[in-house]
Amino acid sequence: MPGKRKAKASEEGEEPKKSAKSEDALVHPGRVRTLNEGDVKAGPVIYWMSRDQRVQDNWAFLHAAEVASKTKSPVAVVFNLVPEYLVAGARQFGFMLRGLKLMEPKLAALNIPFFLVKGDPIKTIPEFVKKVKAACLVTDFASLRLGREWRDEVAKKIDIPFHEVDAHNVVPCWLASDKREYGARTIRSKIHKKLPEFLHDFPTLEKQPKWDSSVKPDKVKWDAEIKAALEKGKDVPEVTWVKPGEEEAMKALNGPKGFLSSERLKKFSNHRNNPNQPDALSNLSPYYHFGHLAAQRAALEASKLRSKAKEDVDAFLEESVVRRELSDNYCFYVPNYDSLDACYDWAKDSLNKHRGDKREHVYTLEQLEKGETYDELWNASQHEMVHTGKMHGFMRMYWAKKILEWTNSPEEAIEFGIYLNDKWELDGRDANGYVGVMWSMGGIHDQGWSEREIFGKIRYMNEKGCRRKFKVDDYIELINKKLKEKA
Ligand SMILES: Cc1cc2nc3c(=O)[nH]c(=O)nc-3n(C[C@H](O)[C@H](O)[C@H](O)COP(=O)(O)OP(=O)(O)OC[C@H]3O[C@@H](n4cnc5c(N)ncnc54)[C@H](O)[C@@H]3O)c2cc1C
């Protein structure tokens, strides 16, 4: 685990520290870790919203409201806008800011002011907490390094209770497992065992006591903020097929053409690995990534349809709960999650053994980014990502494995893969992305396969294999058509 915190709740072998809560707490005490201990006095409770950008179905928000209710105090949201986040561009900043803009009036209707602060959260959040004389700070859980560092540093700088709530996973990451899991087969039963305890419906976030502090939020000039972000990140333009915000996320899940509509859900189990049937996928990953939709909400709604589409619902829960939560497990417990060093010995040893193997094609980052390889299938997937912001899930595996084959070293492959994924995918910069790249190139959560050049024992994929699975030429045509429509 990176950094020190005052209560090291998730260190291996330690019981998670729970916030002082009554037995009939709205939010399961196991969801809450205490980063700074202490009794909460009367005064505003601040929810520092970060990873889970939604009003309803948000355990962190519910916890903030519950803590505040004990002293009948108001709640406010603070959001820190960083000038840069990894390699995010207009596509990602635009989606996020538009989502926040839609959220502000929903909060106002609940008497919850929204404060936008800008800069380094390590500085802005402690300053804000002091300015509003907060009694308690609550935030949502982050598994990635930067988010962990922010939370750890903020904890050191404030002297009020500070709680972190896992609002992203159905089973809180630290309770699903207290260590790095080897793979889906080792975490699956642990998660399933805890589902009856955690997979239940959310209470509604109710109207809060009026914000009576003399510190009022400045009116956010959303259009100017969005314009500036779009200009700054214009190299990675926005996409229009997916609309931000909680309401749009619910429509994408449950609306007439949403994922759970009968004609779509029934394709999931059999057709989700066919890139020519993109609507067999849920397409929910951007909403999970920005927290516009709780994976728990999707799991609850999908579960209601089990009697009609058992295999599809089970396959969806396997992906969106087990696999997704396995990614958080990996990033949380393996701080160097994006490095070859994080791979198992069998994978590192065999990649090292084949380091010197001759590569028939070696491409530069620029050639890859422009989709200028000899392989039309790979180029199509790269174009899909660049122009739509979402490459089909099956193609992501092929795409990453080819980068391993076409670069000078595994380290370079990981670097290029993560850079391109983070830059162009709307759902990039996510635990799932780091696991996806590391699974494809470094055997994370996988096993050794028969040894071959360059790949060593890492699972291999080639175009011939793709041709056996789906009509490759149709996919290339589909992407070309999409590009033409856009032009
Ligand atoms: C090289 C590579 C890069 C990837 N990059 C990302 C990324 O940046 N962000 C991201 O969210 N996912 C990433 N994935 C995982 C997966 O491909 C996407 O989550 C999925 O394609 C998103 O589309 P969907 O929501 O329509 O998925 P669906 O198939 O409808 O699945 C529903 C949800 O289950 C989860 N899920 C599905 N497949 C996986 C998986 N293999 N591992 C973990 N969770 C999964 C996701 O949260 C997804 O939204 C990557 C995979 C690979 C191999």
pLDDT in tens, 371-392: 999 999 999 999 999 999 999 9
Q: 33: CA distance to ligand 1 center in Å? A: 27
Q: For residue 71, what are the contacts with CB-CB under 8 A and spacing of at least 6?
A: 40, 41, 42, 43, 135
How does residue 5 score in pLDDT terms, banded at 50, 70 and 90? very low
Q: Residue 135: what residue type?
A: A
Supply the mean pLDDT for the chain. Answer: 94
Task: Give the CATH fold of the 225-333 domain.
Answer: 1.25.40
Q: Which atom of ligand 1 is nearest to the CA of 429?
A: 8
475 lines ligand 1 (CB under 6 A): no
Q: Which atom of ligand 1 is nearest to the CA of 391?
A: 21
284 lines ligand 1 (CB under 6 A): yes
Whether the predicted pLDDT of 15 surpasses 90? no
How does residue 4 score in pLDDT terms, banded at 50, 70 and 90? very low
381 lines ligand 1 (CB under 6 A): no
Q: 435: CA distance to ligand 1 center in Å? A: 10
327 lines ligand 1 (CB under 6 A): yes
Question: What pLDDT does 76 receive?
Answer: 98
How does residue 8 score in pLDDT terms, banded at 50, 70 and 90? very low
Name which of 282, 482, 242 is nearest 383 in CA terms: 482
How does residue 485 score in pLDDT terms, banded at 50, 70 and 90? confident
Nearest CA, atom 38, ligand 1: 319
Whether the predicted pLDDT of 89 surpasses 80? yes
Cα torsion 10, 61, 84, 397 to 10°: value is 60
Q: In this structure, what token pair is assigned to residue 427? A: 């759902």
How does residue 262 score in pLDDT terms, banded at 50, 70 and 90? confident
CATH placement of domain 1-82+119-168: 3.40.50.620
Q: 98: CA distance to ligand 1 center in Å? A: 23
Nearest CA, atom 48, ligand 1: 285
CATH classification for the domain delimited by 340-486, as one of 1.10.579.10, 3.40.190.10, 3.30.930.10, 3.40.50.1820: 1.10.579.10
Residues 229, 234, 235, 240, CA torsion sign: positive
Question: What pLDDT does 20 receive?
Answer: 40
Whether the predicted pLDDT of 487 surpasses 80? no
Residue owning tokens 């596509």: 91
Q: 136: CA distance to ligand 1 center in Å? A: 35
Q: Where are the domains of the chain?
A: 1-82+119-168, 225-333, 340-486
Mean pLDDT of 454-482: 97
Give a three-class secondary structure readout of the chain: CCCCCCCCCCCCCCCCCCCCCCCCCCCCHHHEEEEECCCCCCCCEEEEECCCCCCCCCHHHHHHHHHHHHCCCCEEEEEEECCCCCCCCHHHHHHHHHHHHHHHHHHHHCCCCEEEEECCHHHHHHHHHHHCCCCEEEEECCCCHHHHHHHHHHHHHCCCCEEEECCCCCCCHHHHCCCCCCCHHHHHHHHHHHHHHHCCCCCCCCCCCCCCCCCCCCCCCHHHHHHHHHHHCCCCCCCCCCCCCHHHHHHHHHCCCCCCCHHHHCCHHHHCCCCCCHHHCCCCHHHHHHCCCCHHHHHHHHHCCCCCCHHHHHHHHHHHHHHHHHHHHHHHHCCCCCCHHHCCHHHHHHHHHCCCCCCCCCCCHHHHHCCCCCCHHHHHHHHHHHHHCCCCHHHHHHHHHHHHHCCCCHHHHHHHHHHHHHHHCCCCCCHHHHHHHHHHHHCCCCCCCCCECCCECCCCCCHHHHHHHCCHHHHHHHHHHHHHHHC
Q: 8: CA distance to ligand 1 center in Å? A: 30
Nearest CA, atom 3, ligand 1: 436
Q: In this structure, what token pair is assigned to residue 411? A: 């380290």
433 lines ligand 1 (CB under 6 A): yes
Q: Which atom of ligand 1 is nearest to the CA of 289?
A: 11
Mean pLDDT of 427-440: 98
Residue owning tokens 């670097």: 415
Nearest CA, atom 20, ligand 1: 393
Q: What percent of the chain has pLDDT over 90?
A: 92
396 lines ligand 1 (CB under 6 A): yes
Nearest CA, atom 12, ligand 1: 432
How does residue 7 score in pLDDT terms, banded at 50, 70 and 90? very low
If one residue of 261, 313, 416, 432 were mutated to test the ligand 1 pocket, choosing by the most ligand atoms within 8 A of its CB, it would be 432
Question: What pLDDT does 84 receive?
Answer: 81
Residue owning tokens 């491409």: 363
CB 211 within 8 A of CB 111: yes
Q: 286: CA distance to ligand 1 center in Å? A: 10
Question: What pLDDT does 23 receive?
Answer: 54
393 lines ligand 1 (CB under 6 A): yes
Question: What pLDDT does 86 receive?
Answer: 77
Question: What pLDDT does 88 receive?
Answer: 79
If one residue of 173, 285, 287, 466 were mutated to test the ligand 1 pocket, choosing by the most ligand atoms within 8 A of its CB, it would be 285
Question: What pLDDT does 445 receive?
Answer: 98
Question: What pLDDT does 486 receive?
Answer: 76
Longest CA span, the chain: 69
Going from the C-alpha of 33 to that of each of 14, 22, 122, 290, 468, the distances in angstroms are 12, 15, 19, 22, 48
Q: What percent of the chain has pLDDT over 70?
A: 95
400 lines ligand 1 (CB under 6 A): yes
CA–chain centroid gap for 250, Å, is 17
Mean pLDDT of 6-17: 35
Whether the predicted pLDDT of 18 surpasses 80? no
Fold agreement (1-82+119-168, 340-486): no
CB 208 within 8 A of CB 74: yes
Nearest CA, atom 22, ligand 1: 285
Nearest CA, atom 32, ligand 1: 320
Residue owning tokens 């830059």: 423
CB 395 within 8 A of CB 384: yes
Give pLDDT tens digits for 161-178.
999 999 999 999 999 999
Mean pLDDT of 143-158: 98
436 lines ligand 1 (CB under 6 A): yes
Name which of 187, 98, 176 is nearest 143 in CA terms: 176
Question: What pLDDT does 87 receive?
Answer: 82
